[in-house]
Amino acid sequence: MNRPHGNESITRDVVREVAARAGVQPNELPPLYDFIDPDALDRVVHSTDSDLELSFVFAGYRVTIEGDGSVRVHQDD
């Protein structure tokens, strides 16, 4: 997905995408900070070039973030 929420942080996009994929409300997910430092994630994504590809597991889903801000979510095997 390409940053549909505009100026919101990438962490909010991640939580929304994982919640949608899991079929739950965002507040039903465990805290993102239990998996990755949200502030550091925002800083890395906003301070790097378009060659970035960052992946991590959150709530049973593999999240991949590209340098353009797109977020892909797939169930982690």
pLDDT, one tens digit per residue, over 38-68 is 998 888 887 766 788 899 999 999 999 987 8
- Whether 3 maps to a domain, the answer reads no
The pLDDT of residue 77 is 77
List the domain range (segments joined by +) for residue 60: 10-75
Is pLDDT at 37 greater than 60 in this prediction?
Answer: yes
Can you tell me the distance from the alpha carbon of 41 to that of 37, in angstroms, rounded to the nearest whole number? Answer: 6
Number of domains in the chain: 1
